[in-house]
Structure 1
Amino acid sequence: MSSVIKRLSRLFFVSLTTLPFVVNATGNNDFTQCIDNLQVKANAAGYSRYIVNDIIPSLSPIKRVIELDQRQPEFSQSFADYLRLRLTDYHIQTGRKKLAEHKVLFDQLSKKYGIPAQYLVSFWGLETNFGRNKGKMSVLNSLATLACDERRSEYFTAELFDLFHLIDNKTVITEQLAGSWAGAMGHMQFMPSALRKYALDGDNDGKIDVWQSEADALTSAANYLNSIGWLEKERWGRQVKLPKDFAFQQVEFDQFYDLATFKALGVTRANGAALSDYKIEAELVLPAGADGPAFLVYPNFNVIMKWNLSENYALSVGLLANRIQGAAGLKISDKSQRNLYKPVELQALQKKLNMMGYDVGKPDGIWGPKSRKAIRLYQLKHGLVGDGFPGRAVLNKAGIQG
């Protein structure tokens, strides 16, 4: 089973496919045509006159949104750099304070939804610094900009229409709609589709306000995680130690195996103790290659990936939750830091691997599942460590110069 989870299927999307979008948000004429198409679709779908005649015509593109979409830190920062900015003393100490401050609420949520408090606090800290950075961009304009851009037009159009629904049924009011560049909102950064389906009134005041009410936001997050498959009795994963002669040829990445398989291959806990005989499936994740930290992740890791489709993000959620609970910090070796690649180097490697018959898809400089698989096969064929990581050894072997 692959650990790379596709985004949740849209429960709602207008299916008027006869009107193509003009998708280039950088051109005013193209954006105007896109907005005209959105207006026609919204009218045909039965949205209010307020949405059709007032909201949609007032939408405008935000150039900054496109720039941010093209260089997301989840895919442009090394694992060590990504982690360094998110597992800070501030996140850990504030997370512990929030656990104590909201103990009654967290106990209720844990009992009702089966989500341990440390995970809710971890998501909260990573998403908005515990509500300090909820975002100030216009959610309507951000979503419109991305809906009118070709890269992920279908996904963001669906999100924009979900937001129209929330406005029409008065779940939100337009004055509230400030958030991230990608249209995420409130303490926990819900996209409109998640807000529409999972948001709850946690403080019982008769309304849902994920911007101002911490109880609403945390209750909605617990409901969301429970609904998308969180396993109450399981952890997210753990750091492990690979033997020096680990048989990479016997384990593919983005693939789950019985925990016993890894135990038989000599994998131990990070402190050298044996893995348990617990019956659970696990996947090996090496975010910085064989020279960096190694993890076995369990099904709950995939639930975190449904929240944000990034292994670095999902690892950060789990590791911060552990630190909030008192676990020791993660050490990243200098050797793994010296083994880093540049996106332009990976893109060159992807092009070369494609030419040699290894399918990596479109060369984009992003280290995704296809690249991991292709690099691993290339490494094993050429006697290199088959960790699937585009480190110096494989780049040098392929003749890629930085």
Structure 2
Amino acid sequence: MNASPAPITCRRDSPPFTGGRPLRFQRLALALAAAFAWPSVHADPAFDGCLDELGTRARGEGISSSVFDAHVRTVTPDPSLLGLLNAQPEFTTPIWDYLAGLVDDERVADGRRMLAEHADALARVEAEYGVDPETVVAVWGVESDYGNTFGKRPLLTSLTTLSCMGRRQSFFRGELIDTLRIIQSGDVAADRLVGSWAGAFGHTQFMPSTYRRIAVDFDGDGRRDLVGSIPDALASTANYLKRSGWRTGQPWGFEVRLPAGFDGPSGRTNRRPLSEWRGRGITRVDGGAIGLPGDTRAALFQPAGASGPSFLVFKNFDAIYSYNAAESYALAIAHLSDRLRGGGAFATAWPTADAGLSRVERREVQTLLLARGHDIGEVDGMIGSATRAAIKLEQAKLGITPIDGRAGQRMLRALRAAAPGAATPSE
């Protein structure tokens, strides 16, 4: 969604021109400048020079000097962010693993409670923006687990650091300015602006620039608060989807059955009229009627290839996709929304003999790894680098191949069998 402009090199301004004045005047000028300059709290002159540039831009865009100085001048940069900015994926997550953790029974149950608890607000959101409650709540569930995981990094630290270091400085400078606008407006206090390393925050994880364009005050308190106001967050999410082309009353898509030997076109952006797909023998997997006009354009989406589940997807799938440009992410939200409506698992199995794990099962894997002496940190259901490294060691010990660090059903069964007191085949 965002371009990657060339990095901007941060430097101090050139020394002031003295015009050949006597040395005592030069010394007096320097002393006065030092007396009134903002005191540096950093050891890196380049970083201080970058802050000078940011301050100039911020003032030019309506940010007061007091807001900038209080919230940016005092930031200590966090160079560890550069590793996240430049990281290359080291572990490719199969889509069946991805969905198993995001659309599990736990998240579905929690989502249904949220639908009931916030039914009145969601009904008003649907009336205003035309987006159904299940889809809005599914975004909320995937983005922050219904407000349980906002992220822990202060936005001001992340965005100030990335505005002065590494790639995409121009992009992050814009996000920093928009963060200062949020603070200056009084919408959200600075100490509550925590989120992802890249700056997404709140119940449904908006970037500050997205907040500026899309966020709404839905609870009527005069503030657009995506952190403390669930109605504001839900309505802002629906507003985002509406602006992204959401079509009220149309499904995101549905699972389909292909005729034997099907060799037609596929791909999320390869749209054809429904009449063409029907003519090729494609039907809903549940046998139900497609129920849309023949000129409705749809694409055949096969996230795991022809041997896995197939879907016909419509404009609403694209609207979900625009929220975070990844097809697996869009499918997770779409599938969770269906589960919240009472739907079940996909009818077609994923093409794997080793299915993925729910979050409950992932926490069990971590608990078993801790019991076997692996220092993997907190049991949180997040399969990070420490957990994967421990799994690799156990795969080697237990004779599981490939040794890839993946947490799947085979690994869970092996750890259960190896646990003290576990039943043996002869018992």
Q: Same fold (TM over 0.5)?
A: yes
Q: Deviations over 1:193-223 (max 9, x none)?
A: 1222222222223333221221221122222
Counterpart residue identity of residue 142, structure 1: S
For the 8 Å contact 1:263–1:275, the answer to whether it is kept is: no
Question: Does structure 2 retain, via aligned residues, the 8 Å contact 1:291–1:336?
Answer: no
2-structure distance, mates of 1:131, 1:283 = 33
| Residue 273 (structure 2) aligns with | 258
User: How far, CA to CA, are the matches of 1:242 and 1:149 in structure 2?
Assistant: 50
* Partner Cα distance (1:243, 1:273) in 2: 16
1:281 aligned to 281, 297, 319, which one? 297
Shift in alpha-carbon separation, 1:155–1:106, aligned structure 2, 3 A: same
Question: Pairwise mapping of residues 99-138 of structure 1 onto structure 2 (< 5 A)?
Answer: 99-138=115-154
Q: Is the 8 A contact 2:266 2:299 kept in 1?
A: no
Q: Counterpart of 2:244?
A: 228
The within-5 A match list for 1:70-89 is: 70=86, 76-89=92-105
| Structure 1 alignment gaps of length 5 or more | 1-5, 10-14, 340-402
Q: Aligned equivalents of 1:119 and 1:72: distance in 2?
A: 31
CA distance in 2, matches of 1:102, 1:73: 37
Change (3 A) 1:291 1:132: same
Q: CA deviation at 1:327?
A: 0.6
Give the secondary structure class of the aligned counterpart of 2:102: coil
Find the counterpart in structure 1 of residue 328 from structure 2: 312
Match of 2:416 in 1: none
Whether the 8 Å CA contact 1:73–1:82 is kept in 2: the answer is no
For residue 195 of structure 1, give the secondary structure of its aligned residue in structure 2: helix
Counting only pairs closer than 5 Å after superposition, residues 261-340 of structure 1 correspond to structure 2 as: 261-271=276-286, 275-276=290-291, 278=293, 279-330=295-346, 333=349, 335-336=351-352
- 2:275 aligned partner, one-letter code: A
Q: Deviations over 1:27-70 (max 9, x none)?
A: 96765554443233324444210244333322333344344445
**Equivalent pair of 1:201/1:207 in contact (CA under 8 Å):** yes
Question: Gapped runs of 5+ residues in structure 2?
Answer: 12-42, 356-427
* RMSD of equivalent CA atoms: 3.2
The residue number in structure 2 matching 1:143 is 159
Contact kept in structure 2, 1:79 and 1:312, CA below 8 Å: yes
Query: How far apart, in 1, do the equivalents of 2:266 and 2:195 lie?
Result: 41
Report the counterpart of residue 244 of structure 1 in structure 2.
260
TM-score (norm 2): 0.67
Helix, strand or coil for the counterpart of 1:76? coil
Distance change >3 Å, CA 311–CA 153, structure 1 → 2: farther
Q: What's the TM-score, normalizing by structure 1? A: 0.71
Question: Does structure 1 conserve the Cα–Cα contact (< 8 Å) formed by 2:214 and 2:236?
Answer: yes
- 1:210 pairs with 208, 212, 226, which one? 226
Q: How many Å separate the matches in 2 of 1:222 and 1:144?
A: 30
Q: Which amino acid aligns with 2:54?
A: L
Of residues 172, 177, 180, the one that matches 2:188 is 172
From 62, 69, 76, the equivalent of 1:60 is 76
* C-alpha distance 293-153 of structure 1, shift in aligned 2 (>3 A): farther
Secondary structure of 1:335's partner?
coil
Identity of matched residues, %: 35
Q: Which has the larger displacement, 304-313 or 55-64? A: 55-64
- SS of 1:284's equivalent in the other structure is strand
Amino acid at match of 1:158: G
| 1:341-380 equivalent positions in 2, closer than 5 A | none
Aligned residues: 323
